[in-house]
Amino acid sequence: MKPGAPQEAVDEVIKLIKDVGYEAHLLQGEIQTVIAAVGDGRDKSRIESMESLKHVEKVVPILKPYKLASRQTMEGDSVINVGGVEIGGKHLVVMAGPCSVEGEEQILEVARAVKEAGANVLRGGAFKPRTSPYSFQGMAEEGLILLAKAREETGLPIVTEVLNPRDLDLVYKYSDIIQVGARNMQNFSLLKEVGRLDKPILLKRGLANTIDEFLMSAEYILAGGNRQVILCERGIRTFETATRNTLDLSCIPVIKERTHLPIISDPSHGTGYWQYVGALSKASVAVGADGLMIEVHNQPEIAFSDGAQSLKPKKFTQLMKELRPVAEAIGRTI
């Protein structure tokens, strides 16, 4: 739409799009309004003819299979607001906390430490996907209650993972950001369900998925009506065994070129070893990530899960100090 187009003109275009048999998705930017017409390609000439309408600036065919996620749909960057924390803006967001919530003392101690160090969001798993059925699977609702208690004390919004659509209402009740993990990136039933929600979704890249597949998964959520999607690069599986995964840093600038959605980096899962988290965090910031997700544990040597890749609070505090000049060098803050 042309800048300053009145609401009546926007409503008229939406009605015309629906009359053709397409879905109309309204994308409201600070300066310009975009209406995405999503359909099967039939009668596209009727969509193209809408360029003759008074308040329509141009009709642009989106060639990418991911229509709503494409940067062709929105020229600027999407900024997701979570309780006053903006993800995708100039300020880099750091999500930090343990892999799993293991108890009240543990989660509160870690929450206080990451808050003091400058983290913006508290991460913690209440439901954990584990390779072995005999491994710790999480504290479920009890873990969510403890996360909520940590949020109440520190003021940090919380991000936690949902594994099963049956648990979605429960996770929705307690969380500020709902994470869809790597193993569920192509769980299309779950993607459709979170697409109906009004809370931000953190979507992690699958272990062996291409960037296009990653963006198509995001498209499922966007097509459901939820515009609050945050992407996360967390490493892919390659032939290399020196690290747990291979953190695909090249993914970040490619994503920034192809989509308006924000993307953060998870160097903890990307490497699997705490020794490498600092270097990959700095590199992620340097190549354009909008934030970081870092695992922090007060006693990683006895952690129920992922202790080897978790930073102790003191090391996390030091890393936050080291990240600031890197962010400033590319015109951002942290």
% of the chain with per-residue pLDDT over 70:
98
pLDDT in tens, 223-253: 999 999 999 999 999 999 999 999 999 999 9
Q: Is the pTM of this model over 0.75?
A: yes
Domain 80-329 has CATH 3.30.450.20: no
pLDDT in tens, 189-205: 999 999 999 999 999 99
**Looking at beta carbons, which pairs linking 112-117 to residues 24 or more positions away fall under 8 Å?**
112/153, 112/154, 113/296, 113/298, 113/313, 113/316, 113/317, 114/156, 114/296, 114/313, 114/316, 115/154, 115/155, 115/156, 116/317, 117/313, 117/316, 117/317, 117/320
DSSP for residue 312: P
The CA distance from 218 to 23, in Å, is 17
Mean per-residue pLDDT over the chain, rounded: 94
What confidence category does residue 64 fall into, taking pLDDT thresholds of 50, 70 and 90?
confident
Give the closest residue to 102 by CA, choosing from 245, 280, 241, 304.
304
The boundaries of every CATH 3.20.20.70 domain in the chain are 80-329
CB 266, CB 309: distance < 8 Å: no
pLDDT at 113: 98
pLDDT in tens, 89-108: 999 999 999 999 999 999 99
When pLDDT is averaged across residues 295-299 and rounded to a whole number, the result is 96
Lowest mean pLDDT among 4-8, 34-38, 71-75, 143-147: 71-75
Residues 6+ apart with CB under 8 A from 130: 136, 137, 305
